[in-house]
């Protein structure tokens, strides 16, 4: 029987275990350059015992930033600063992928330089507010991307992927989940276009498919992963028939030779099974455990074949040596639910002690 503590080859890399550290927003890239700090190098190096680390979301362009103090991968200074992070992880024997996250309409002009405003497939504002340095602000109506701007955004993802490899990352994960830009193209309530980038299922999956293909062309399929969250209503997303959309997307991507598919699961385990069956490659699962953090019971998902790898979020924050604690059966430090980011148990905006 395969267990979560067995090695796995992912995109040509031999991982020590099937335990992944899920991406979690940390907002620690202080300063105008949106560059990673030494604090971040320490944070990730402490968690290098994960079979795979997926970083916090990293914006591929200035307009892709949706939260304060999140890091980028679109300048030479950012590339150099990330190199310190990846070197620290590799010294500890870890494998680390950069998550490329364009937040689309989730953001605010006060977070963006040079008079930029958030962009999206359609000019539809999200309900709710976003945290800024000036406090919570209502989401604004985003600017609808033109055809040329869509093409430029796809190129931004590819350029950021190349920068990630230059910065020493082992690969990248495209963030197609949680109501951010890629997800906004997939969902009918945020994509109201009638051109070839919307309307039909084929139109709505096109952006996700072309971003993924561009990244694969830039750095290779073996260094590219994709994260999706079918049916997840986070950030004011509404998907009435996620199975149809995501099965079509996986069919479109199946031949690209991706390192993995990373599913942030909703309450529908049947849908997870359908996606698992439809996907020909490695299947990483961030299981649905809301409102609790994913715990040791998730190890069984590898044993019963539900997933090839299982991703832990909040428990990795409270337990930097989580794989060793899981192998020993505990004890576990308990994450504080009061600090969960936006009600989503896989991200934080507080700053717990790095050695907690």
Listed in order, strand segments (DSSP E) in the chain are: 8-10, 13-15, 19-21, 52-58, 96-100, 119-120, 129-132, 135-138, 143-144, 171-176, 224-228, 260-264, 283-286, 309-312, 340-341, 344-348
Neighbours of 96 (CB within 10 A): 25
At residue 260, the 3 state secondary structure works out as strand
Listed in order, strand segments (DSSP E) in 59-148 are: 96-100, 119-120, 129-132, 135-138, 143-144
Identified catalytic residue from 180, 234, 246, 260: 180
Q: Which residues contact 303 (CB under 8 A, 6 or more apart)?
A: 1, 2, 3, 4
At residue 287, the 3 state secondary structure works out as coil
Whole-number Cα distances in Å, 269 to 18, 19, 265, 287: 20, 20, 8, 9
The answer to whether residues 265 and 287 touch, using CB atoms and an 8 Å cutoff, is yes
Angle of helix 201-219 relative to helix 147-166, nearest 10 degrees?
30
Catalytic status, residue 180? yes
Residue positions annotated with a catalytic role: 180
């Amino acid at each position: 029987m395969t267990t979560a503590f067995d090695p796995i080859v992912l995109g040509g890399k031999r991982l020590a275990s099937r335990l992944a550290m899920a991406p979690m927003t940390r907002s620690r890239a202080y300063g105008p350059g949106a560059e990673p700090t030494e604090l971040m190098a320490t944070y990730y190096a402490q968690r290098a015992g994960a079979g795979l680390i997926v970083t916090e979301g990293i914006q591929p362009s200035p307009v892709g930033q949706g939260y304060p103090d999140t890091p980028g991968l679109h300048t030479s200074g950012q590339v150099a600063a990330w190199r310190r992070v990846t070197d620290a992880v590799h010294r500890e024997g870890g494998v680390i992928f950069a998550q490329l996250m364009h937040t689309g309409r989730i953001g605010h002009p006060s977070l963006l330089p040079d008079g930029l405003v958030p962009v999206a497939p359609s000019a539809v504002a999200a309900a709710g507010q976003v945290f800024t340095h000036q406090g919570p602000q209502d989401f604004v109506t985003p600017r609808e991307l033109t055809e040329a701007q869509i093409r430029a955004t796809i190129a931004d993802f590819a350029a950021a992927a190349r920068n990630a490899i230059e910065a020493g990352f082992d690969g990248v994960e495209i963030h197609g989940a949680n109501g951010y830009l890629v997800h906004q193209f997939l969902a009918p309530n945020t994509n109201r276009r009638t051109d070839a980038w919307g309307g039909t299922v084929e139109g709505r999956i096109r952006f996700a498919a072309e971003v993924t293909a561009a990244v694969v062309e830039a750095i290779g399929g073996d260094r590219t992963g994709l994260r999706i969250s079918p049916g997840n209503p986070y950030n004011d997303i509404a998907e009435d028939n996620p199975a149809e959309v995501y099965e079509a997307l996986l069919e479109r991507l199946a031949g690209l030779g991706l390192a993995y598919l990373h599913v942030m699961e909703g309450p529908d385990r049947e849908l997870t099974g359908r996606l698992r069956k439809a996907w020909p490659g490695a299947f990483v699962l961030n299981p649905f455990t809301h409102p609790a953090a994913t715990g040791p019971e998730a190890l069984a998902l590898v044993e019963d074949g539900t997933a090839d790898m299982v991703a832990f979020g909040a428990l990795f924050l409270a337990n930097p040596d989580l794989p060793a604690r899981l192998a020993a059966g505990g004890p576990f430090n308990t994450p504080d639910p009061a600090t969960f980011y936006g009600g989503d148990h896989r991200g934080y905006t507080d700053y717990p002690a790095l050695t907690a």
